Structure 1
Amino acid sequence: MIEDQEKGLGYSEAYDLLSKFKIKPTKQRMLITKEVFSKTPKHFTVQDIFVSLIRRNKKISLASVYNTLRKFVELGVLQEIYIEPNKSFFDTIVTPHYHIYDKSLGQLIDVPEGSVKISNLPDVPNGKKINGINLVINIENHSK
């Protein structure tokens, strides 16, 4: 969930970011951009951003949030991590790294760099190369 104490971008920073990527800085996109990008890396869902803005009496649609976040993914400034067929998180860290998903808490956690070693990868077809590995370790509370 988005923390209230986190400071997002200011108006001019959000405007500059949208302009840099040739995205029209509408009021809704400005709200989303200011909410998403902060000095602290974070994971969030479309619903997290939507609820956070609605709680602050901002007029915005869920579709606007989703479409803006998808555009940021296309531009490479956000990463989308798929957890289940209908559940994904967005990550402000776009460099390759792995995650743990705690189903009990609904939280996505970064795995420390270097703590996962992947070996014995399968051969890929001729003319192809591996361009990335997505790894999410799913955990939940252990029942006794």
Structure 2
Amino acid sequence: MATETAGKNVTDILRTAGLRPTRQRVSLAELLYSKGDRHISAELLHEEAVAASVPVSLATVYNTLHQFTEAGLLREVAIDGNKTYFDTNVSEHHHFFIEGENRVIDIPGDGVGIGRLPEAPAGMEVVRVDVVVRIRERQ
């Protein structure tokens, strides 16, 4: 039986997003959303799945996270092009990346102001602006 997520059953959430609620998708969704809003890498979610006895490969975790992102259930946060986190909070907001800890935390929605954006090339439109502010402890 699927757990409740923000008052909704994860099976219903998947169906509403246009995704078939397979056993693996439901199990991964339960792991993702059972701890509230958070930023997670595919590797960490895979570790949590293994610890919870969910039989799933790392490749399936990656595929599922990308499917959830395409369906609007997650937001992808790319750091340096080689590290990707998935955010369960899909609202408009930006992020701090804590160097040395490899941790991502939210900046409140009004915490960043964008004064001017370039015009998109012909036939294109700006969909979203993602700001990642890198921080570290003072030396």
Aligned partner (choices 41, 48, 51) of residue 45 of structure 1: 41
Q: What amino acid sits opposite 1:131 in the alignment?
A: V
TM superposition shift of 1:43: 1.0
Note the 1:37-116 alignment, pairs <5 A.
37-38=33-34, 40-116=36-112
Aligned AA for 2:106?
D
RMSD value, Cα: 2.4
Tell me the secondary structure at the aligned position of residue 104 of structure 2.
strand
Which deviates more from structure 2 when the two are superposed, residues 67-76 or residues 24-33? Answer: 24-33
- Counterpart residue type for residue 53 of structure 1: A
Q: Specify the alignment match of 1:122 in structure 2.
A: 118
Once residues 25 and 125 of structure 1 are traced to their aligned partners in structure 2, the CA distance between those partners, rounded to angstroms, is 38
2:23 to 20, 27, 41: 27
Letter of the structure 2 residue corresponding to residue 38 of structure 1:
S
**TM-score, normalising length from structure 1?**
0.80
> Matched residues in 2 for 1:14 and 1:109: separation?
24
- 1:9 maps to what in 2? 3
Mind listing any 5+ residue stretches in structure 2 that lack a counterpart? none
Q: How far did 1:71 drift?
A: 0.6
Shift of 1:142: 4.4
Partner SS state of residue 111, structure 2: coil
Structure 2 counterpart SS, 1:65:
helix
Distance 1:118 1:29, change over 3 A: same
- Is 1:100–1:110's contact at 8 Å kept on the other side of the alignment? yes
- The question of 1:134 aligning with 2:130 is answered yes
**Retained in 2: the 8 A contact 1:9–1:35?**
no
- The structure that is strand-richer by fraction is 2
Whole-angstrom distance in 2 between the partners of 1:18 and 1:115: 31
